[in-house]
């Protein structure tokens, strides 16, 4: 199995630009999570989906952030417009059984907003 696949691995953009991060979960997994990691705040949950439906988006910082999961094999996290404080590593994770706590993480997308 290829694991959770994220793209791009690195993104450098200028303030005000739109950023789209992509995630392909492990086939057969029914839960998908988006996290953001910074030194100051650690690993923060942004949103999670169950069977392609957003269950909790209370961690999404503001309206500039949006996430979609159009089908079981693809999700996007979009930031529009981006700001320097959005600079972080964004992780996608998927799970077969969420209540086991066993999430499989991708390698992350490192975003730098200048």
Partner 1 sequence: EDQVTQSPEALRLQEGESSSLNCSYTVSGLRGLFWYRQDPGKGPEFLFTLYSAGEEKEKERLKATLTKKESFLHITAPKPEDSATYLCAVGDKIIFGKGTRLHILP
Interface contacts to partner 1, rule CB under 8 A: 4, 33, 35, 41-45, 48, 56, 91, 93, 98-108
Rounded to the nearest whole angstrom, what is the least distance from the CB of residue 83 to partner 1 in the complex? 23
Rounded to the nearest whole angstrom, what is the least distance from the CB of residue 44 to partner 1 in the complex? 8
Pick between residue 64 and residue 98 the one whose CB is nearest to partner 1: 98
Name 31's bridge partners.
50, 95
- 55, 64, 66, 87 from 3: Cα distances, Å: 23, 29, 24, 25
Pick between residue 69 and residue 93 the one whose CB is nearest to partner 1: 93
Pick between residue 72 and residue 96 the one whose CB is nearest to partner 1: 96
What's the CA gap between 31 and 103, in Å, rounded? Answer: 9
Rounded to the nearest whole angstrom, what is the least distance from the CB of residue 93 to partner 1 in the complex? 7
Pick between residue 42 and residue 70 the one whose CB is nearest to partner 1: 42
């Amino acid at each position: 199995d290829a694991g959770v696949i994220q793209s791009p691995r690195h993104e450098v953009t200028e303030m005000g630009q739109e950023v789209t991060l992509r995630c392909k979960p492990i086939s057969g997994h029914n839960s998908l999570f988006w996290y953001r990691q910074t030194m100051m705040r650690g690993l923060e949950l942004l949103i999670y989906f169950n069977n392609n439906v957003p269950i909790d988006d209370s961690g999404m910082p503001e309206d500039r952030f949006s996430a979609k999961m159009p089908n079981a094999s693809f999700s996007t996290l979009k930031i529009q417009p981006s700001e320097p404080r959005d600079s972080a590593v964004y992780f996608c994770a998927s799970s077969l059984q969420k209540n086991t706590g066993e999430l499989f993480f991708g390698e992350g997308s490192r975003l730098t907003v200048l």
